[in-house]
Chains A and B, each alone.
Chain A
Amino acid sequence: MITPQVEPRDIRQAPSSAPVSDVDPFSDAFFEDPHPIHEALREAGPVVYLAKWNVFAVARYAEVHAVLNDPATFCSSRGVGLSDFAKETPWRPPSLILEADPPAHTRTRAVLSRVLSPAVMKQIRDGFAAAADATVDEIVARGRIDGIADVAEAYPLSVFPDAVGLKAEGRENLLPYAGLVFNAFGPPNALRQSAIERSAPHQAYVQAQCQRESLRPGGFGACVHAHVDSGEITDAEAPLLVRSLLSAGLDTTVNGIGAALYCLARFPHEWERLRDDPGLARNAFEEAVRFESPVQTFFRTTTRPVELGGVAIGEGEKVLMFLGAANRDPRRWENPERYDITRRTSGHVGFGSGIHMCVGQLVARLEGEVLLSALARKARSITVSGPVKRRYNNTLRGLESLPLAIEGA
């Protein structure tokens, strides 16, 4: 694979109407505590200019939602990271769905939508629920655990690779590969560069697993390949669509479940409400996705000069969307700083919005729901029992370590 040569972009004056900020949303300080900076960005104006990376950015709900829902103006085919594919060689062959625009996107999207449809969820539900019970039984028996390694990672790893139909060997490559993909959306900082430098073995593994003969019949991967037979996609496209599942389907739910555990351990009142009614598990997970926004940011690129929030933006400009900031925008949410498991979460942008809205959202909700439901039924208390450590990634927000004490019900 080619390591991108980043051309220094001209340092330009921001158009006068956009307030300029020197915040670096890809820095350790930001990862540690993004919320006050999100607030400052929201308050600065509907559109701000980030001098550090020469990009426009939106942090309010209305503008984030508007950009997500105007793919003709704010395109994805020039990359949804900082790198502009019109100017730089992508670090890997672009995604046929995430980094595509209509009409190409419409066709590939239809295939993955069918592979991950509500009807398919009904078939896999019991298996996912049984595995969640098993994971929770084990951690309750142990009492002291790490919420990240032993639950947030262990549970998705126990269901998702099997559901895709991967063979057992080599799965240790999956999380490093996903970490790489999400770091690569960021700027050419140390996180991105070192991930790409170490990527060769993970890329080789993923490429091999995406081939038809590597995938168990009946799994999501084989179902993608089955659409070649009906002529909707070519046999060159199928492996790349399987790659999208491996890139986006595991580390995201790890951080989603990690977010939910961290919320429930921090907010005992909400944990009690969940125990009283385990039927709230699905919304408790959804609210954690809003509250923590495990996927924090994506970029778009303008296809034409456009005015947004009173600010003129030229053609070919990168626009950074702060999903996490939109999900806590007081203009849209009542008490946004509150984790409330009975909140009406519909409309949050933690899974995006519009034509690219997460095609795997039903898998994510299924995993989150059955895991939290098992916890609510089988555990009496869940408390933080040691130092919490954050994991740094250019796109994903989550923890490295979450020591927990769990008491059985």
Chain B
Amino acid sequence: MPQVIFVHPDGRQDAIEIAVGASVMQGATQHGIEEILAECGGNAMCATCHVYVDDEQIGRLVPMSENEDALLDGTAAERQPTSRLACQIEVTPALDGLLVRLPDRQT
């Protein structure tokens, strides 16, 4: 299974294996990554699954939809150019080793 590396705000790292086809959000919540709230359960409505994708790796992702873009304007932690919603990142074999940083707040 592809691995996704989560970097907590304090620098700790968790490498988690996530099934192909699942979202980064699903992997995170199933493995107890507490910084991912996912209040809407992955329905792309709440922006509480915000992550910062590693600068070098942002190009590996499928570009975001208009809806994701609009939601990211409402994140609790500051939006950055590498901001994405974890529920909208589908894990593929090509994403193995993806590194995402967790914001210090989601609400």
Contacts and interface: CB of A to CB of B under 8 A. Distances in A.
Interface of A: 110, 113-114, 117-122, 282, 286, 344-348, 351, 353-354, 357, 359, 361-362, 365, 369
Contacts of B55: none
A118 B29 contact: no
Nearest to B43: A357
A357 B45 contact: yes
A353 B43 contact: yes
Interface in B38-73: 38-41, 43, 45-47, 67, 70-71, 73
Given A282-B107, A357-B45, A362-B46, A118 B39 contact: no
A361 B37 CA distance: 14
A353 B41 contact: yes
9 contacts: A114-B70, A118-B71, A118-B74, A346-B38, A347-B29, A347-B41, A354-B43, A361-B39, A361-B45
B75 interface: yes
Contacts of A120: 74
A118 B75 contact: yes
Given A346-B29, A361-B46, A362-B46, A117 B74 contact: yes
Contacts of B70: 113-114, 117, 119
Given A346-B38, A353-B41, A369-B107, 9 more contacts: A113-B45, A118-B75, A119-B73, A346-B41, A354-B43, A357-B41, A357-B43, A359-B45, A362-B45
A114 B29 CA distance: 26
A113 B75 CA distance: 15
Nearest to B36: A346
A227 to B, nearest CB: 13
Given A119-B73, A346-B37, A113 B43 contact: no
Interface in B85-99: none
Nearest to A279: B107
Contacts of B37: 346
Contacts of A369: 107
A305 B41 CA distance: 29
B74 A357 contact: no
Contacts of B39: 286, 345-346, 361, 365
Nearest to A353: B41
A110 B37 CA distance: 23
A282 B107 CA distance: 9
A347 B73 CA distance: 23
A344 B43 contact: no
A113 B67 contact: yes
B74 A121 contact: yes
A344 B46 contact: no
A162 to B, nearest CB: 21
B35 to A, nearest CB: 12
A359 B40 CA distance: 10
A118 B43 contact: no
A362 B46 CA distance: 7
Contacts of B75: 118
A117 B67 CA distance: 10
Interface in B70-85: 70-71, 73-75
A120 B71 CA distance: 10
B40 A117 contact: no
Contacts of A361: 39-40, 45-46
A357 B107 CA distance: 19
A362 B47 CA distance: 10
Contacts of B29: 344, 346-347
Contacts of B67: 110, 113
Nearest to B49: A346
Query: Which 9 pairs show the lowest CB-CB distances between chains A and B?
Result: A118-B74, A119-B74, A118-B47, A346-B38, A119-B73, A357-B43, A347-B41, A346-B41, A117-B74
Contacts of A353: 41, 43
